[in-house]
């Protein structure tokens, strides 16, 4: 997480048109009381005092407030009497290709949206930019704001999963290399990828329920938002399927690497066995002729050369035989 001080951003739209921004959070409830206003407030790295102010301003459930600052809360969408609480995670890969996540929560009321971020890692400016680019949907109320927020989060999933996919392809490229230490490096990278995919799966899989729950509530009031949320739901399904396929790929790479390690070990054992057999020939011959019995050439120079020639010929014959059998 990125350490930062508590910061607040606010906006208000009146009849679908941006009217004011960066006003004090204490005025949020005043604008919410006006039927033609749509209000957004963003709180980054909130402290206890800010959360108390937020709860008082919007009459938020205390359990939802606690969930908003819980760093390990499961992604979910919970309806309360006065608001809906949404918990999600943004994700990305850092420069070391390690997966990083950031908690993003949201409270939706009848005419407002409040986002709560535990740090400034999530790019809220991208969400604001999409609101500005699609100002015509502001008339549909807070569910339109929620759609853009979730859309940015899900787009981040595709970026992170795509980077993991490229990393897996990089592992596959070196999988069949015979360089020393390749197998150990592959195992290390595969282990890191499996941990990253577990984290991705924990964030992506529950998003189907989150988007589905938000979509039901949104389309009850505004049928015009149905295509937007159906497209978002389709993106979540694609991210889920992509994550599952990458898990299968990583498992396949892991098992293949173990199989290749066994094959390399078998090849090494065959080579060692072959060389041991070749080395055994001079040992056997010299051991035999070293016995205290006369042998052809015993005590003569030509006997020595006969022994040496026998060693070389038999060793060469074994070498050729083992090479033909691909043992060496």
Tell me the CA distances in angstroms from 150 to 75, 90, 117, 241, one per residue in order: 12, 9, 14, 18
Nearest to 145 by CA among 202, 96, 106, 101: 106
pLDDT tens, N- to C-terminus, the chain (328 residues):
444 678 889 999 998 889 999 998 888 888 888 888 999 999 998 887 788 777 887 888 888 888 888 888 889 999 888 889 999 999 998 888 788 999 999 999 888 999 999 898 999 999 999 999 988 888 888 989 999 999 999 999 999 999 999 888 888 777 777 654 567 777 788 888 888 888 999 999 999 999 988 888 766 667 788 888 999 999 999 999 999 998 888 888 877 777 777 777 777 777 777 777 777 777 776 676 665 556 666 667 777 787 778 778 877 887 787 777 666 6
Q: Where along the chain do its domains lie?
A: 7-261, 266-324
Beta strands (DSSP E) in 73-191 are: 76-79, 84-93, 99-108, 112-117
| Secondary structure class of 111 (helix, strand, coil) | coil
User: What is the pLDDT at residue 116?
Assistant: 93
Strands 84-93, 7-14: pairing kind: unpaired
CATH architecture of 7-261: 2-Layer Sandwich (3.30)
User: What is the pLDDT at residue 2?
Assistant: 45
Strands 7-14, 37-44: pairing kind: antiparallel
| Alpha-carbon torsion (134, 139, 145, 146), positive or negative | negative
Burial class for 54, CB neighbours closer than 10 Å (0-12, 13-18, 19+): buried
Residue appearing with tokens 């979730």: 150
pTM for the whole structure: 0.76
- Classify 114 in phi/psi space as left (phi over 0), alpha (psi -120 to 50) or beta: beta
Strands 84-93, 76-79: pairing kind: antiparallel
Q: Copy the structure tokens of residue 180.
A: 């020393």
* Cβ pair 42, 117 in contact under 8 A: yes
User: What is the pLDDT at residue 1?
Assistant: 41
């Amino acid at each position: 997480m990125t350490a930062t001080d508590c910061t607040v951003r606010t906006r208000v739209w009146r009849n679908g048109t941006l009217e004011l921004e960066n006003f004090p959070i204490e005025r949020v409830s005043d604008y919410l009381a006006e039927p033609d206003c749509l209000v957004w407030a963003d709180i980054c790295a909130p402290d206890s005092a800010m959360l108390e102010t937020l709860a008082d301003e919007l009459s938020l459930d205390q359990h939802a407030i606690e969930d908003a600052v819980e760093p390990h809360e499961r992604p979910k969408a919970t309806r309360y009497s006065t608001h809906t609480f949404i918990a999600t995670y943004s994700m990305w890969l850092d420069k070391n290709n390690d997966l990083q996540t950031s908690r993003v929560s949201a409270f939706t009321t009848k005419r407002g949206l409040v986002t709560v971020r535990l740090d400034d890692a999530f790019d809220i400016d991208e969400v604001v930019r999409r609101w500005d680019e699609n100002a015509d949907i502001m008339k549909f109320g807070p569910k339109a704001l929620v759609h853009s927020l979730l859309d940015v989060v899900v787009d981040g999933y595709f970026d992170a999963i795509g980077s993991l996919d490229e990393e897996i392809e990089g592992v596959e490229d070196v999988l069949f290399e015979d360089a020393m230490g390749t197998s150990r490096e592959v195992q290390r990278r595969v282990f890191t990828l499996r941990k990253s995919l577990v984290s991705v799966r924990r964030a992506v899989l529950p998003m189907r329920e989150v988007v589905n729950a938000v979509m039901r509530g949104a389309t009850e009031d505004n049928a015009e938002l149905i295509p937007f949320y159906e497209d978002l739901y389709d993106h979540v399904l694609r991210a889920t399927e992509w994550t599952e396929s990458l898990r299968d790929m990583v498992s396949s790479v892991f098992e293949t690497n173990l199989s290749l390690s066994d094959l390399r070990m078998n090849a090494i054992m065959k080579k060692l066995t072959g060389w041991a057999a070749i080395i055994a020939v001079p040992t056997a011959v010299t051991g035999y002729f070293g016995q205290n019995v006369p042998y052809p050439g015993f005590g003569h120079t030509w006997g020595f050369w006969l022994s040496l020639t026998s060693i070389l010929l038999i060793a060469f014959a074994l070498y050729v035989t083992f090479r033909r059998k691909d043992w060496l």
